[in-house]
Structure 1
Amino acid sequence: MMKKSYYQKAVFLGILLIVLSAYQKYTSRGKEDFSDIQFISENTVPLSEFDPNNLDVKQWQSLGFSEKQISTILNYKEIVGGKFTSKEQLKKCYAISSQKFAAIEPYLLLPENNQEIPSDHFKSFSKKPVNVLKKFNPDHLQVDGWMKMGFSDRQAKAILKYKDYLGGSFISKEKFKECFIISPENYQQLAPYLLLPEKTPQNYVSTAKSTTIPSKTQHYFDPNSLDIEGWQSLGFSYNQAKVIVNYRDRNLKGKFKSPEDIKKCFVISPDKFEELKPYIRIAPSVIEVKQERTDFSKVDLNAITFKQLLEFGLDEKSAGSLLGFRKKLGGFADKQQVLDTYNIDKELAQKLISICQLNSSQVQKYTLTDAPEEWLKNHPYFKYSADRIIFYRISNPDDKKIWKLLKVKPEYETRMKLYLK
């Protein structure tokens, strides 16, 4: 028994010595040297092209970056204006080592430097069908105009940047087709509607956005299609460009009618005007065909259209409600029914029925005994009494007896009889 107790004590003392030795070693060590640890993790990057401006935190992590590195990269992105514009710029981010940058560089959808047009920057352009119904000059469209055609906000802004790169005009269908956002499918749809020359002029020389007009190789421009940046590209300061745009939009109601109108703007010196004058091309105004106003005295309330109701003055909601109510009724049997339309302007509706005609000859009418069950259950005036009418007419196939059994209010009976023979 004593021998067993001796061995237990020996084992316990041995374990205690091991623990004390380990603790002493831990507490006596100094700070570790992290100088050789690289800031960038060396995970393998996926072999596919990407735009670093579109990556979220998880996507940066998938490229092998730590949370701290990603935070630094995103902060740097905000510092440079919220968007990486070139590989050269991204490379300057100190959170990306030279080795890591070399690994991802071949897959970056960015230009080499800020002097190049990012032709690959928007490879994911829309291939959806565009919405275009009439001919148009693409030089005149702003972001909202391109978006109405089906392009995204980002794509629309890229199209305008491409136009700006060309100098403020697409020049020709050839040049327009070269826009990296416009897919071949989209171009085929748009081409017949473009108000541009088919071919680029032989004397045209492609120049990047410049601060002055260097020579007669400069392209033509329409002063009515230029925004502040467009005027800056012609050599004006931001404040001068702002004055020109305000002068056009406020004083001239949005349009220079002749070069002389431009000359009168006080921020454009005589010398500058003479420099610009050879290149000014003011597009002729589009003459809108005036539609004849509707003679509402000849319009039938059972045939009036949504467009005509809008022309008369009703808003879209009221016009839609009126037509929907008319459809449920199967046509108006009396003009006063128009006033029962939900949420309609009573004063405007009263004016409408006082002017328009009403032809109710095509309105379907029945007797209580022969009215189809579906018609009774769906008609606004009969649906609440439909089940009782169907029940009563089984044993009382006579309208007068059915009316006595229904016992509806007089005003309801009057409305219902509008649709009865």
Structure 2
Amino acid sequence: MRKNYYQKIAVLGVVLLTLLAFKKYSATKEDKFPEITFVTENSSSKMLSAFNPNDLDENQWQKLGFSEKQTKTILKYKEIVGGNFTSKSQFKKCFAVSAEKYSELEPFLLLPENSSEFTANYHSQNFKKQSLIINGRFNPDHFTKKDWQAMGFSEKQSEAILKYRDYLGGSFVSKEKFRECFIISDENYQKLEPYIILPAKTPANLKSFATQSKSPIKLTAFDPNELDKKGWENLGFSEKQANVIVNYRDRNLKGSFKTLDDLKNCFVISQEKFESLKPFIRLDPLTAAKNSEQKKAEIKQEKTDFTKTELNSITFKQLLEFGLDEKSAGSMIGFRKKLGGFMTKEQILETYNIDKELVQKLLNIAPLDNSKVERYTLVDAPEEWLKNHPYFKYSADKILYYRISYPDDKKIWKLLKTKPEYEARMRLYLK
């Protein structure tokens, strides 16, 4: 019995010691509640996939975590750099994209590192390499715009190649020079090189070689007042030069070259070219007089009364007649078409690339009738119209979303929360 008694005492002692030790440990160490991290919808841990920033609209930028203001800044910056981001380094310079945000997006950007790597071998829409169609050996000096397009280049790329050829004097001269064309990537050059009919190296005297490389032109007697654009091209001038000569004759000289000096003074006709043509020039006074009278009659017939010419129906030709250059006239007509018509004269002055001083003179005398311009409510405006109209396209997705639940213009305006100046412009085209 005494033995059992001591065993029980020993067990009790061990239990007491254990309790005392645990109490002491608890007093010296605080229990910390585990930290909880809430994952928000805008967390940067969201799954990203490869994308071309040139493809994204306002809504898609916001889904990447950018605010509405940042999104508009990015889209505006894209317009400033030419309508497309050409490299990662260029995209990085946009001040709406922080260094941290760029680091997050950079691995997924379908853009080259530097703009110098951006060539015709990448489509602006999906950035995939082009496949060229080469039917056999060819001389790039003889290729037209359609020929380059048939090979696989886009319309703009084809125009750029031809401009580069014109810059060289009308001939690529050598494979070496052809390779320097920024539109032609190294990869595409390697594909084209075996088929190109040009010398491998550029001759020392590039200018004379370019002249010799062109097909010899057989000259015969001609009257410069009887030649159209094609006729001047047949004399060795480029399409652009031929346009300049004809416009110079018809506009500046009122329809005819009257003396050799008139022809000599045309800036696209070099002294060397003029001397080569001079022995074959035959100026007929009767033809010159006839053309001049014809031109005067045309000008008199085309004279427009701009006080009665309505600004929403004025034509490109009439704008040129008023004195605008082709760039200004084209911009004004193009902006009017996008808007569906001008609602106020002030809108016309917002047009890019116009001679504002000259346009203001036109606005002072010409009337504006906006009665035929299409107007809608936010609820019934066609989706295509909203997405294409310059004033609505950046808010189009929101309008389409809100009007599903709230078919009321006042409610939609409250939800849009647009800036007052933007809302004022939009309301011009609403009922």
TM-score w.r.t. length of structure 1:
0.37
TM-score w.r.t. length of structure 2:
0.37
Greater helix proportion: 2
User: Larger C-alpha radius of gyration, 1 or 2?
Assistant: 1
